Amino acid sequence: MEVRDYEVDRFGVVNNAVYANYLHHVRDAFLRSEGVDVALIVEGGNLLALTELHIKYLQPLRSLDKFRATLTIRKLTSVRAEFEHKLIRVESDSPQVGSPTLLLLVAW
């Protein structure tokens, strides 16, 4: 992934709210890669609710930085998934963000 110019603030770093979008993208890509179709879950009368998202900012990403993401499953049950996300700057191979996340399957 690469930081786009419009994602940075006036200080030249990625705005803190943008990181949640990055993490959402990574989580969705992971679910798709595991065969989870969120649209089918919703059509079945359920939803995946993000109930916790904690972002630890370690170092800022800047415009045009290239970064990769990792996602580790910390705990998985039939109705609960706990993930650990990391965003890692490619150039330095250093973590920029760490984020434990809780996703729940909820009857809608």
Residues with Cβ < 8 Å from 57, sequence gap 6 or more?
16, 19, 96, 97
Catalytic residue, candidates 5, 9, 28, 37: 9
Pull the structure tokens for residue 65.
Answer: 């930085």
Angle in degrees, CA 60, 87, 47, rounded to 5? 120
Catalytic, 28? Answer no
C-alpha dihedral (43, 27, 72, 36), degrees to nearest 10: 30
| Catalytic (active-site) positions | 9
